[in-house]
Structure 1
Amino acid sequence: MERRKLGRTDIDVSVLCLGSMTWGTQNTAQEGHAQIDRALDAGINFVDTAEMYPVNPISAETVGRTEQIIGLWVERGGTRSDMVLATKHSGAGFSHVRGGGPITAATIPATIEGSLRRLQTDYIDLYQFHWPNRGSYMFRQNWTFDPSDQDPVAVRQNMDDCLGALQAEVDRGTIRAFGLSNESAWGTAEWLASAARKGGPRVVSVQNEYSLMCRLYDTDMAELSVNEDVGLLAFSPLAAGLLTGKYQGGAVPDGSRLSLNPDLGGRRTARAFEAVDAYLSVAGRHGLDPAQMALAWCMTRPFMASVIFGATTMDQLEVALGAADLTLSQEVMDDIDAAHRAHPMPY
């Protein structure tokens, strides 16, 4: 499987990344371990998690459970060195940890220690901030997000302080690289400026939502990614399952994300289903599996470092793995572009 560099580091990651957010709710530990083993066997070396996982649902009782499941895989004989492991520090407003407080220099050491303990490892390859303290355009907040009350001086000071704490962890050997998630172009540029100004680990990646259905990244963030070597780690590349077609015609499969989250995090709209029909039509005309087409398309983007997918069944995992060997013809790419122009911003 193709591998790509994380930023300006020597860390190579597979172009597909195994997401883990359902391990502990929709998936058992045994199922999570089976997914890891199969993914590694197929050439994936990159696994993404977070201290707040699992989701569907999120609860105080389950925080950290997914990291624990990965740790059990290590304990049971999994080879840690075979895996590039990424996790995340939750941010302001997540009441289940640290009282919902923001990410600060003071929270970083203990939060990393908690992840290391649960993961049963002594280092994290990619340590990410799950969302910025100041808020985010992500998760449909782009319709209403208002940055006018931000204090840029305070934001920059927090960045400087956090990078100092992260550098101490790099020096200690607990993290190898630093990434962002749910970030904006301005925020990413400021993190880069802080590293240049004060030192500390330079941002190597941004984990934002990206798919045929959600292309906010295509403008300012894309330009920043390409020119600053800050690759995108795309999450929800199948639009929470919409792009598989399994929800068309009002279908709600038992145990699916839609059965647990009725609006799919704001993605369930009439226009979304119309857009899915257009992409299903493209796949059908060219004899392609729609999920593989959606993943393979993401991999063609010039700013893409890795595409994070999740699976709740081994059959879903096998379909996703097949995308690694799929090359989309120019005719397919042209048809995808036409569908996007006809159905922009469907949610």
Structure 2
Amino acid sequence: MDKITLGNSDLQVSRICLGTMTFGEQNTEADAHSQLDYALERGINFIDAAEMYPVMPRAETQGRTEQYIGSWLKKSGKRSEIVLATKAAGPSRGISWIRDGQTDFDLNNLRAAVDGSLRRLQTDCIDLYQLHWPSRNAPIFGQIAFDPDKERASVAIEETLEALATLVKEGKIRHIGVSNETPWGVAEFIKQSENRGLPRIASIQNAYNLVNRSFESGLDETCYRENVGLLAYSPLAFGQLSGKYLDAATAVGRLSIFPPTWSPRYLRSAVVEASRRYAALAREHGMSPATLALAWCYSRWFVASTIIGATNLTQLAENLDAYAVQISPDLVEQINKIHRDVTNPAQ
């Protein structure tokens, strides 16, 4: 598995990252350990989690994902072989059970978040610590346009960076990243870090897939010029791009077992139509819909690492095998034709 230096950090990460949001909900602890073992066997050294996981978020399960990774680290003794990433939950997402609702990005709350993750992960340092979503009002999670009427009190980016700098000095985290961010947010993080001599973000973890290419509208240039690596999440659009929901009305996955209010953007009629067209294109070229979607994402020049998730080893193997599939220029043009017809329906 190829590796890449993540942004301006010294982290050497595999071009595929194992996402773990199913651990503790759709996957048992034994399942989780099997996936982690298999991923390492296939050359994956990059593991991503979050204090909020698993999904969908519930007070009864919160933290299990990190716990399962922690028990695997203790059992396997593989801590030195992986780049371990996790995320701190931000405010205003209806998750009051995390840290008693104290989830903003000031020093006290971030220290509590880091300490909790370190305890569950059974490690003494997190390699990449990410802010799961912005403190401020920003157009994320299916909100297409910025809405100034939704402005609210938030922690200033410079204060958050100062808090993260403290945690770096304390040895609890090595490098930092953002998630679900905008071009303005990335630029402001860079500006404040440079002006104040504070830690610089190495990565941005945003949704990127065939039905949501909004990263290409400003974030691609911003991250290229500022050397911030994209960690592309949801490359299969919550499974829509695998074709399984098109092929079987009884398909089991996040879109069928969780309430539709959890992921409405992936249930839009335009997403279904675009997924149908991409699935047909994949089969015309002799590959599964999932393979097409993943191979295309893996091939994009600005994607540092693609975060994949699976609920069983068969899915995980297919996702990893797709890395070897080459996408021809002609196929890229056919993909772009569908994109022009149905542009970013899951944004």
TM-score normalised over the length of structure 1 = 0.94
SS in 1 for 2:300: coil
Q: Which amino acid aligns with 2:100?
A: G
The residue number in structure 1 matching 2:258 is 261
2: distance between equivalents of 1:170 and 1:242? 39
Deviation by residue 1:69-107 (Cα, 9 ceiling, x = unmatched):
000001112310111110011010231213333221221
Aligned to 2:5: 5
1:117-164 deviations in Å (ceiling 9; x for gaps): 100011101000001111332221225x4135648xx86x72222212
Q: Distance in 1 between matches of 2:232 and 2:275?
A: 19
Q: In the alignment, residue 284 of structure 2 is paired with which amino acid?
A: R
Which stretch shows the higher mean deviation, 13-22 or 266-275?
266-275
| 1-structure distance, mates of 2:148, 2:83 | 35
* Contact 1:136-1:182 at 8 Å conserved across structures: no
1:122-201 alignment runs, 5 A limit: 122-143=124-145, 145-147=146-148, 150=151, 158-201=156-199
Q: Separation in 2 of the partners of 1:293 and 1:253? A: 20
How many residue pairs were aligned?
341
SS of structure 2 residue aligned to 1:247: helix
Partner of 2:76: 77
CA contact 1:226–1:302 (8 Å) conserved in 2: no
> Who is 1:342 aligned against?
341
1:6-155 matched pairs, under 5 angstroms: 6-56=6-56, 58-93=57-92, 94-101=95-102, 102-143=104-145, 145-147=146-148, 150=151
Please tell me the residue identity of whatever aligns with 1:108: L
SS of alignment partner, residue 255 of structure 2: helix
* Residue 225 (structure 1) shift: 1.0
For residues 135 and 97 of structure 1, what CA distance do their matches in structure 2 show? 20
- The equivalent residue for 2:225 is 227
SS of structure 1 residue aligned to 2:244: coil
Cα distance in 1 for partners of 2:254, 2:143 equals 20
Contact 1:195 1:202 in 2 (8 A): yes
The answer for the alignment partner of 1:251 in structure 2 is: 249
- For 1:274 and 1:150, locate their aligned partners in 2 and report how far apart those are by CA, in whole Å: 34
Report the counterpart of residue 236 of structure 1 in structure 2.
Answer: 234
TM-superposed CA distance for 1:298, in Å, is 1.1
The structure-2 alpha-carbon separation of the partners of 1:296 and 1:249, relative to structure 1 and needing over 3 Å to count, comes to closer
Distance 1:334 1:84, change over 3 A: same
Q: Is the 8 A contact 1:283 1:293 kept in 2?
A: yes
Paired with 1:212 and 1:241, the residues of 2 have a C-alpha distance of 12
Counterpart AA for 1:99? D
For the residues of structure 2 that align with 1:185 and 1:20, how far apart are their CA atoms?
27
Q: Which runs of 5+ in 2 are unaligned?
A: none
Residue 225 of structure 1: SS of its match in structure 2? helix
CA distance in structure 1 between the partners assigned to 2:156 and 2:136 by the alignment: 11
Unaligned runs of at least 5 residues, structure 1: none
Q: Return the alpha-carbon distance in structure 2 between the equivalents of residues 227 and 36 of structure 1.
A: 34
Equivalent-residue separation in structure 1 for 2:311 and 2:43 (angstroms) = 19
SS of the residue 1:107 aligns to? helix
Query: Aligned partner of 2:221: which letter?
Result: E
Counterpart check, 1:328 vs 2:327: yes
For normalisation by structure 2, the TM-score amounts to 0.94
Q: Aligned equivalents of 1:118 and 1:190: distance in 2?
A: 32
- Would the aligned equivalents of 1:138 and 1:209 in 2 still touch at CA under 8 Å? no
Check whether the contact 2:99–2:113 (CA below 8 A) recurs between aligned residues.
Answer: no
Moved more, 261-270 or 61-70: 261-270
Query: 2:21–2:53: 8 Å Cα contact kept in structure 1?
Result: yes
CA RMSD of aligned residues (A): 1.7
CA distance in structure 1 between the aligned counterparts of 2:232 and 2:287, rounded to whole angstroms: 21
Instruction: Confirm or deny: 8 A CA contact 1:252 1:258 kept in the other structure.
Output: no
Q: Does the residue aligned with 2:209 lie in a helix, a strand or coil?
A: coil
Counterpart-to-counterpart distance in 1, 2:148 and 2:301: 29
CA distance in 2, matches of 1:15, 1:147: 37
TM-aligned CA deviation for residue 252 of structure 1: 2.9
Secondary structure of the equivalent of 2:239? helix
